[in-house]
Amino acid sequence: MSEHDEKLDEFEMQLKQAMTRVDARAETVAKFMAIAAEVHEERAVPWRQRKNRWAFFLPVQPVWAMSALAAVLAVGVVVGGHEVREQRQAEAQQRAVAEREFETASQITDRALEHTRQQLERAGVRPED
């Protein structure tokens, strides 16, 4: 395994550990639910009468805006996946070329060693095996 593969494996382990699901405490969930209920109730009140109008100054977004955002995100995921696939294909091609070059170099070295061994035997020198 190459050093690059080892670093990648280590990174993947760290990422997996960082992304491990951790259940929230019951108190935290209760706080979030209370805040969500309060926000939902406040949205029914006119903006000028809201007690926390600084926190929720934007009106409820129309459905088309949320759909457009979802579409943009989906396109980003697809394009990103395509780029990753292309990069992996390029790496695979580079790896294949490097393996062919290594095999060719090994064959040339083997032939050169065999030729040298034959010349030594003709000269009367017996190389140790």
Contact residues for 56 (Cβ-Cβ < 8 A; gap 6+): 39, 42, 43, 50
Q: pTM for this structure?
A: 0.39
Give residue-wise pLDDT tens across range 69-89. 888 888 888 888 888 888 999
Helices vs strands, H then E, count in the chain: 3, 0
Hey, where are the domains in the chain?
1-59, 61-129
Q: Which two tokens stand for residue 37?
A: 């209920």
* Residue 59 to residue 71: CA distance in whole angstroms: 21
pLDDT of residue 127: 66
